[in-house]
Structure 1
């Protein structure tokens, strides 16, 4: 709470919650890249150097670790977000009661911050959770045996998600999954953007942050 209050007063970027999330993501990236374990190292870089991964697996991802492409893309995304976070749109204001005194009112480009993304991700996680719960409760039917369950989520014999609504609201893991099923990646991106826009409008109206 203290960290969040300090950041809200201008001693930082975003909010305290956002920084905790970013710290967790940064920890995961460093752990999966350089982390040592017992015996052989478990980080993706060390796994490649010790011959546990091929060059292709290390570049695009494989063996349970992220690839070089994903690592570079994450750094680029960080830089873009940091830049956009600092962008302000200054609206000119004129005060009629003060003989036409003029000033500017800065508005952040990312006005609603990362809350819509958090809300959308939480909604997608609930869809996945309930689809798996209903599938397990119904006796783990194979795809095609129950139409209603197939609409919510389809799973194979290994409990791997292979279709349904839950399949399209679950992010692909790595560039190879995107390459293998580009339709899923495009649909997921479209649904994510649409729900982020919806939650942004709802958050502005509920929080009283709208223009009115």
Structure 2
């Protein structure tokens, strides 16, 4: 498990064995079962989660009870409620497991300490956060300007394995389309 985290970090910065051991002291490993929540709306969400194995989704439930999928996170991805995590407020999102999941998490306090003590980790987190903001911008622009079929094609191009791992109803919610529309498009 630890090697997966090290490979993730070393895509951006190089660590000595000693530095990696130090980095690991700031993280906690956790195994979470399918359907178990990692974060629940209304509760504190002090951790950012790195997925070693498994699959999670973050979602928002509106006042009418409709679920809106914000993000899926599979192996080698990070997931949190950014507003709750960075501002130390209660979560507006739910995050639960679609599969049994192994992950590492880091609290905002440990992340800040780690970044002060090992500057290359500050650079790592800055690069990961920037990539997340860029992906979110692309997603918002896609929802605002692309037709349903274009969004679906982009989804399967970017995340081909998710089509087999995620129920179609959840993919439809993520794409902002009906389950029926998704069924018609995926039949082609």
Q: Which bin holds the TM-score, normalised by the shorter protein?
A: 0.3 to 0.5
Greater relative contact order, per chain length (Cα 8 Å cut-off, separation 6+): 2
Q: Hey, which of these two has a bigger chunk of helix by percent?
A: 1
More strand by share: 2
- What TM-score comes out, normalization by structure 1 length? 0.30
Q: Name the TM-score, length of structure 2 as normaliser.
A: 0.33
